[in-house]
Amino acid sequence: MKHYAQPIAKLIGQLTKLPGIGPKTAQRLAFYILDSTQEEVEELALTIKDVKDNINYCSVCNNFSAEEVCSICKDETRDTNTICIVENSKDIVAMERTGEYKGVYHVLHGSISPMEGRGPDDIRLNSLLSRIKEKNIEEVILATDPNVEGEATAMYIVRLLEPFEITISRIAHGLPVGGDLEYADEVTLSKALEGRTKV
């Protein structure tokens, strides 16, 4: 770093902390920022600060939101009796892209992991429970990741919600559309067979 002027070295150091950014990419970004106009740089800086200052958790579903209640929870055309539980806000974006789901969400911001020692207290379950107690919820869809942590989280929530009289469903595991059966792995294929639907 001694070849750089100190502020540049500091910027490169900060950029390297970002995911997927190595020293070389950081260097390129730093020099790009140096070459940009004063306005562009200020806008970037303010945007970053703005995100941190103004984004909070939605008071209903814990999604990231600029307002007290997020746009999905506010939307009156949506079915508020169905809650889809996801691990993080990025998953909502993925679900929304399908255009199929009309209910609301609940974001856990994490998953239960025995290996990492992350227990039920480390994810946002209390707000889910109070939602279910207070509102007339008919169905809860568990859309956590189909990996060990996601399964553990789903199983824990099933146990937690047992006393309530609601339908609990888990999203299906199966073959990707446009895939090739011959190249499917054994576990996925057996899950797909297990979850087959009548036509």
Partner 1 sequence: MSLYQTEAIVLRHYELGEADKIAILYTKERGKVRAVAKGVRKTRSRLAGAMEVFTHNQLQLYQGKSLAKVNQVRVLKSFADLRADLWQMSYASYLAELVNELTVDQERDQALFALLLTSLNLLSKEENLMLVVRFFELRLLRLLGYQPELKCCVECDTALEELTKLKFSSQQGGVICGDCSAKDQYAMYLSKGSVAIMNRLLEIDYRHLNRLKLPVKSRQQLAKVIPNYLQSILEKPLKTLDFIRVLNAQGSN
Using CB under 8 A as the criterion, what x/- string covers residues 20-39 for binding partner 1?
A: x-------------------
Query: Least distance in Å: CB of 112 to partner 1?
Result: 8
Stretch that binds partner 1, among 5-13, 32-40, 50-58, 186-194 (CB under 8 A): 186-194
Residue 10 interacts with partner 1 (CB under 8 A)? Answer: no
68 is a contact residue toward partner 1 (CB under 8 A): no
Residue 7 vs 114, nearer CB to partner 1: 114
**Inter-residue contact 132 to 161 (CB < 8 Å):** yes
Q: What tokens appear for 183 in the block?
A: 């190249």
Return all residues near 175 (Cβ < 8 A) that are at least 6 apart.
Answer: 181, 184, 188, 189, 192
From the list 45-53, 74-82, 84-92, 184-192, the region that binds partner 1 by CB under 8 A is 184-192
Instruction: Dig out the tokens for 67 from the structure.
Output: 């307002």
Find out whether 140 and 169 touch, Cβ atoms under 8 Å: yes
Does 71 bind partner 1 (CB under 8 A)? Our answer is: no
Three-state SS at 146: coil
